[in-house]
Structure 1
Amino acid sequence: MLLDVKLPVYYIFKRILPDILRVMLISIIFQLLKYFFGHYLPLIPLQLATILGSSISLLLAFNVSQSYDRWWEGRKIWGAVVNDSRTLVLQVRSFLQPEALSAREASEHLTAVAYRQIAWCYSLGESLRGQDPMPSLAKFLSEPDLAYAQAQKNRPLALLALHSTQIRELHLKQAVNTFQQVQLDSTLVRLCETMGQAERIKSTVFPANYRLLVHFLIYLFLGTLSLSLVESMGFWEVPVLLLIATTFFLIERTARYLQDPFNNAPTDTPVTAISRNVEINLKQLLEEPNVPAPLTSDTFYLM
């Protein structure tokens, strides 16, 4: 997630530099054609370029709007992850029946659920980014849980299955009653739905043909604008065209990076930082003395 700080110039322009160089090359070619073959260049009215620019602006506005909707949905999903993670541990802590379990057993069960939920948050975020979550899970899971997760392809789903098994065992031991089991299962269902929503965003790509069409139309507009300005502005057409091109390509690239909020990029939803906040909250609920600090960043983004 980009932070509210001054963005470095290299980050803003490095992605559009190839496009800007191509536009500059096109502009220089038209300048040379005007100089050597001025009578053969077509006279294109500026109104045509204006109409094209207005149409492309509408397409870019739609593109940015849809891309931001995807990014914002990803952020809302992880807000639900935080809420349901806290809810699950609070429910287990309040539901466990003291007459069915000793204080030590109740503490072990609560700790197992809390640590497994912390592991679930980290594993979900890393899985969405295409990373291997297993190295992050070793410090949160018991050996049997770790071995079970290792054998599964979908590690976050495996951890939810372990949650479900433990809740069923607590119900069989009468450590939670039937109504409490239903409440815990409802929380697990919400966590599973949240995971599915995040996976849907990750697996559903923004239509590539739409992106290519917008990219082509930008070049068509800039070429038309260059032919329209080359007669009236002379050499000044080059910097003017580059300035306009920079604006259009920056907007297009901004939309492209917002389309995937789980791409391990600075524009991502900060799933690692959110998972760390969940870890802090749940360890405080366990009243543990050593609670990690929230993630901070010395750069312009937070992952």
Structure 2
Amino acid sequence: MLTKKRYSVKDMVLWTRGETLIYLLYTGIITVLYKVFGFTFLNVPWTPVALIGTAVAFLVGFQNNSAYGRIWEARKIWGAIVNTSRTWGMKIQDMVSNEYSDDPATNEELQRHKKVLIYRHIAWMTALRYAMRTRKSWETQHKAKTNREWSNMIHIPEEVSTLDDNLMMYLSDEERDYVLSKNNKQTALLYLQSKHIRELKEKGLIWEFSFLELENVLESLFTHQGKSERIKNFPYPRQYASLGLYLTRVFTILIPFGLIPEFAEIGETMVGDFFLVGKYFIWIAIPFCAIVSWAFHTMERLARTGENPFEGGPNDVPISTISRGIEIDLRQMLDENPDNIPSQFPEEKNVQM
């Protein structure tokens, strides 16, 4: 997630420089053929070009709106995870007690149970964010050259260390081996949570109604997890994405054939009064065609980069930062030594991951 006010003009120019140069070169070639070599048959009536442009505008607008909807829904889901995680920590602190126990546990044992339950929750968030960072076949934005340049400037935490190494900090060896043996590791962790609080209920360390409350919190976590997995595992419909890409390319190919003759005609009408301006006016079509092509292509590309909000780009939901923030909150609630609590992931190039 970008945290500065806006992308600079330099950022946008560098991000789209390849396409911009292609559009300038392509339009320049068509202009030379039309003006210098007299290929005046390179002329397409402006009406069909404009109609295609209108269709592209509607389709790309729909695609951008849908992409933003996916990003915003993902952010709301992880916002709900923040709230539910804090609720889990609060209830664990207050509901695990000797109040209804016939065989009271020591304070050290109670604290151990609380720590295990909270650490296991942190492990659940860790497993979930690693699952969200897993590459899908339709997540290809990291393959674009300029996107790779951004990726080289920022570091996705899930690509720096492995899930195994992270789970080691929160789980026992037995639980870690159990979780890693499952396909859906975050689900396995919630099952362990439910099993643990049931055992505490049977020992009387959790009141029956408190047990139901904690089970409701786990149910909410399952709901948030399922919603997050739905966005991750179900892409923006490929038929719309494909049609938007192909129509944008067709439109950018046709633009010079519609605009260059228009500029040539305008230049001819100006020759009598402004000879030099009219004579060379056709060459102004090159930057204008490039600008129009750049605008439509950039809108379409922005939609593609926003389709997958967990891919790890600078415009995606900062699930690593959110997860680490929750971990800090929960471990502070355990009154741990501040030196033992990890710091927040640093921003790199004004991007939160």
Tell me the TM-score normalised to structure 2 length: 0.80
Q: Which moved more, 1:159-168 or 1:87-96?
A: 87-96
Quote the offset at 1:54 in angstroms: 2.5
**Alignment partner of 2:248 out of 203, 213, 218:** 218
3-state SS of paired residue (1:68): helix
- The whole-number CA distance in structure 2 between the counterparts of 1:88 and 1:119 is 14
Shift of 1:41: 2.7
CA 1:14–1:212 in structure 2 vs 1: closer, same or farther (change >3 Å)? Answer: farther
How far did 1:8 drift?
5.7
Q: How far, CA to CA, are the matches of 2:194 and 2:11 in structure 1?
A: 45
**Is 2:166 the counterpart of 1:116?**
no
Q: Return the match for 1:157 from 175, 182, 187.
A: 187
Q: How does 1:68-147 map to 2 (within 5 A)?
A: 68-99=68-99, 100=101, 101-130=105-134, 132-147=162-177
Query: What residue is the counterpart of 1:173 in the other structure?
Result: 203
Distance apart, 1:14 and its partner CA: 5.0
Correspondence for 1:261: 309
1:193 corresponding residue in structure 2: 223
- The amino acid of 2:290's aligned partner reads L
Structure 2 distance, partners of 1:242, 1:292, is: 49
CA contact (8 A) 2:198 2:211 kept: yes
Instruction: Map 1:30-41 onto structure 2 (within 5 A).
Output: 30-34=30-34, 35-41=36-42
The residue that corresponds to 2:3 in the other structure is 3
Stretches of structure 2 lacking an aligned partner (at least 5 in a row): 135-157, 264-281
Residue equivalent to 2:58:
58
C-alpha distance 8-126 of structure 1, shift in aligned 2 (>3 A): farther
Distance 1:39 1:71, change over 3 A: closer
Deviation of 1:165 after TM superposition, in Å, equals 1.0
Q: Using the TM superposition, name which of 186-195 and 140-149 deviates more.
A: 140-149
Quote the residue 2:145 is aligned against. Answer: none
| 1: CA distance, partners of 2:287 / 2:217 | 58
- CA offset digits 1:5-59 (Å, max 9, x no partner): 45366753455444334433431332233132434333x3334433332322121
SS at match of 1:38: coil
Structure with higher Rg: it is 2
Q: How many pairs were matched up? A: 302
- Aligned residues: CA RMSD: 2.0
Q: Percent identity?
A: 30
Matched position secondary structure for 2:37? helix
